[in-house]
Chain A
Amino acid sequence: MTRRTTLSAGLALAGLLVALEAAPALADGRAFVSNERDHTVSVVDLTSMTLIETIKTGRRPRGITASPDGKLIYLCASDDNRVEVYDAQTFKLVKTLRSGPDPELFVLAPSGNPLYIANEDDNMVTAVNVENNELVAEIPVGVEPEGMGVSPDGRYLVNTSETTNMAHVIDTKTNEVVENVLVDSRPRYAQFNHDGKQLWVSSEVGGTVAVIDPANWKIIKKISFAIPGVNKDAIQPVGIRITKDGSKAFIALGPANRVAVVDTRTLEVEKYLLVGQRVWQLAFSPDEKLLISTNGNSNDISVIDVASEKVTKSIAVGRLPWGVVVVP
Chain B
Amino acid sequence: MRRMVHAAALAAAMAVTVASTATFAPALAQEQAPAASPAAKPAAAPEQTFRIGVVRQVPPQPPWIAPLSAPPEDLGVAGAELGIRDSLASGRFLKLDYTLATEIVPTEGDPLAAAQKLVDGGVTFLLLDVPADQLLRIADALKDRDVLLINAGAPDDSLRQQDCRANVFHVAPNRAMLTDALAQFLMTKRWRNWFLMIGRTEGDRLYAEAVRNSAKKFGAKIVAEKTWDYGPDARATAQSEVPRATQVGEYDILITADELGEFGDILPYNTWLARPTAGTHGLMPLSWHPTMENWGASQLQSRFFKQHQRLMQPLDFQMWAGVFAIGSAGMKTRSSETAKVRAQLLAPDYDLPVFKGVAASFRPWDHQLRQPILLTHATNTVTLSPQQGYLHQRTPLDTLGFDQPESRCKLN
Is B353 within 8 A of A186, CB to CB?
yes
Cβ of B395 under 8 Å from chain A: yes
From A120, A166, A231, give the contact of B299 (CB < 8 A): A120
Contacts of B302 in A (CB 8 A): 102, 121
Q: How many residues of A contact B (CB 8 A)?
A: 31
Q: A122-B9, A165-B328 are in contact. Are A231 and B396 (CB under 8 A)?
A: yes
Complex Cα distance, B9 from A81, in Å, reads 12
Cβ of B331 under 8 Å from chain A: yes
Is B397 within 8 A of A142, CB to CB?
no
Segment 331-382 of B: residues with Cβ below 8 Å from A = 331-332, 351-353, 357-359
Complex Cα distance, B335 from A87, in Å, reads 52
Q: A79-B3, A121-B303 are in contact. Are A180 and B94 (CB under 8 A)?
A: yes
Q: How many residues of B contact A (CB 8 A)?
A: 30
Cβ of A162 under 8 Å from chain B: yes
Contacts of A232 in B (CB 8 A): 395
Complex Cα distance, B90 from A151, in Å, reads 24
From B93, B351, B359, give the contact of A142 (CB < 8 A): B93
Contacts of B391 in A (CB 8 A): 231
Q: A162-B296, A205-B353 are in contact. Are A102 and B359 (CB under 8 A)?
A: no
Nearest B residue (CB) for A78: B3
Complex Cα distance, B89 from A161, in Å, reads 10
Is B351 within 8 A of A185, CB to CB?
yes
Complex Cα distance, B324 from A144, in Å, reads 14
Cβ of A123 under 8 Å from chain B: yes
Q: A122-B9, A142-B89, A232-B395 are in contact. Are A163 and B353 (CB under 8 A)?
A: yes
Contacts of A168 in B (CB 8 A): 93
Is A143 within 8 A of B3, CB to CB?
no
Cβ of B189 under 8 Å from chain A: no
Nearest CB on B from A246, distance (A): 30
Cβ of A268 under 8 Å from chain B: no
Cβ of B6 under 8 Å from chain A: yes
Complex Cα distance, B92 from A166, in Å, reads 12
Cβ of B2 under 8 Å from chain A: yes
Complex Cα distance, B91 from A180, in Å, reads 11
Cβ of B86 under 8 Å from chain A: yes
Complex Cα distance, B98 from A143, in Å, reads 15
Nearest CB on B from A139, distance (A): 13
Q: A120-B299, A121-B299 are in contact. Are A164 and B359 (CB under 8 A)?
A: no
- Chain B proximity mask over A122-165: 1 for CB below 8 Å, otherwise 0: 11000000000000000000111000000000000000011111
Contacts of B3 in A (CB 8 A): 79, 102, 121
Contacts of A120 in B (CB 8 A): 299
- Chain A proximity mask over B315-336: 1 for CB below 8 Å, otherwise 0: 0000000001000100110000
Cβ of A323 under 8 Å from chain B: no
Q: A120-B299, A205-B351 are in contact. Are A233 and B395 (CB under 8 A)?
A: yes
Segment 180-202 of A: residues with Cβ below 8 Å from B = 180, 182, 184-186
Contacts of A231 in B (CB 8 A): 391, 395-396
Segment 247-282 of B: residues with Cβ below 8 Å from A = none
Is B90 within 8 A of A143, CB to CB?
yes
Nearest CB on B from A224, distance (A): 10
Nearest CB on B from A222, distance (A): 10
| Residues in chain A within 8 A of chain B (CB atoms) | 79, 81, 101-102, 120-123, 142-144, 161-166, 168, 177, 180, 182, 184-186, 205-206, 231-234, 255
A-B pairs with lowest CB-CB distance, top 3 = A164-B90, A233-B358, A180-B93
6 A-B interface contacts by CB (under 8 A): A121-B6, A121-B9, A121-B302, A163-B89, A164-B93, A166-B93
- Given A121-B6, A161-B90, A182-B332, list of 13 further CB < 8 A pairs? A121-B3, A121-B299, A121-B306, A122-B9, A142-B89, A163-B89, A163-B90, A164-B93, A185-B353, A186-B359, A205-B353, A231-B396, A233-B397
